[in-house]
Amino acid sequence: MIQIENVSKIYRTQENEFVPAIAEVTLEVRENEFVTLV
């Protein structure tokens, strides 16, 4: 099993502004499951 909890990613622009891409994502992939994230 693969598990991620509360993952966030924030990018900083050249103007020093913050842009959230994802916020507090939780995901669990169990045996024999296939998941694609785009």
The residue range of the domain holding 25 is 1-38
Structural contact between residues 20 and 9, judged by C-beta atoms closer than 8 angstroms: yes
- In one-letter notation, the amino acid at residue 7 is V
Q: How many domains does the chain have?
A: 1
pLDDT for 38 = 84
pLDDT for 23 = 96
Reported in sequence order, the residue ranges of 1-38 that DSSP labels E, i.e. its strands, are 2-12, 18-29
pLDDT for 37 = 80
- The string of pLDDT tens digits covering residues 1-38 is 999 999 999 999 999 999 999 999 999 999 999 999 88
